[in-house]
Amino acid sequence: MLVKLEQVLSQAQVAEAQQMLTQADWVDGKTTAGHLALDCKNNLQLPPDSETARQLGDFILARLHDHPLFNSAALVNKVLPPMFNCYQSAGEFGNHIDNAIRFVPNSAIKIRTDISITVFFSEPESYQGGELIIEDTYGQQSVKLKAGDAVLYPSTSTHRVTPVTKGRRLASFFWIQSLIRRDDQRRILFDLDQSIQRLTAAKQSSEEVIKLSGIYHNLLRQWSET
């Protein structure tokens, strides 16, 4: 399931984040690449212990916590702290699948990567290339969103970032371990939850909404992992 989130960050918040990222100290992205990704990864990243990454990461997570569509789609159990990358000067990341298990930096905590997230900080017209290409269950999708928007997609998906031939692409990326391990089950719960919200907003029969809500929570109870 691929879900786009609009205006996770406001224009003012994006501008402040851009300024912080521009002044940050970047390192070669290969330092955090897995063995198979070394030959196809060409970008810059903020070090895991970067104070800029920590501050911006905490802020992004706080904003997402208040985003109804994010909560409905992700059903968060654990989150790996957000990381940040920069693509420029033909930088790219070839086809790959994210590692299934990742460690929270400087800890023994492990996260199973069910959902991958990218938050965009550069306006799409400010750089050429840099599309996030995701091979989803519905085929190949190209994602290049406005600054402040985000996209969620299954970590099992093959994906890549095309070469940035002009300008600079700034983004945050991280992973979620969901309460629901399987993407098809998350999709069912998401569709059901969205239908319940639309019926509620339209002030449809409260009795039917209660029944659907009961089905939703019984499925969540049956499928969730805590």
* Residues contributing to the annotated binding site: 96, 98, 159, 169
C-alpha to C-alpha distance for 166 and 178, rounded to whole angstroms: 36
C-alpha to C-alpha distance for 140 and 114, rounded to whole angstroms: 19
Q: What are phi and psi of 2, to 5 degrees?
A: -110, 125
Specify binding-site residues for Fe cation.
96, 98, 159
C-alpha to C-alpha distance for 6 and 210, rounded to whole angstroms: 29
Q: Rounded to 5, what percent of the chain is helix, strand, coil?
A: 35, 30, 35
Measuring CA to CA, which residue among 144, 127, 37, 145 is closest to residue 89? 127
Residues in the chain: 226
The three-state secondary structure class of 28 is strand
Measuring CA to CA, which residue among 117, 52, 118 is closest to residue 87? 118
Specify binding-site residues for 2-oxoglutarate.
169
Burial (CB count within 10 angstroms: exposed 0-12, middle 13-18, buried 19+), residue 25: exposed
C-alpha to C-alpha distance for 81 and 99, rounded to whole angstroms: 15
Q: DSSP alpha helices (H): ranges in the chain?
A: 11-22, 51-65, 68-74, 183-201, 206-223
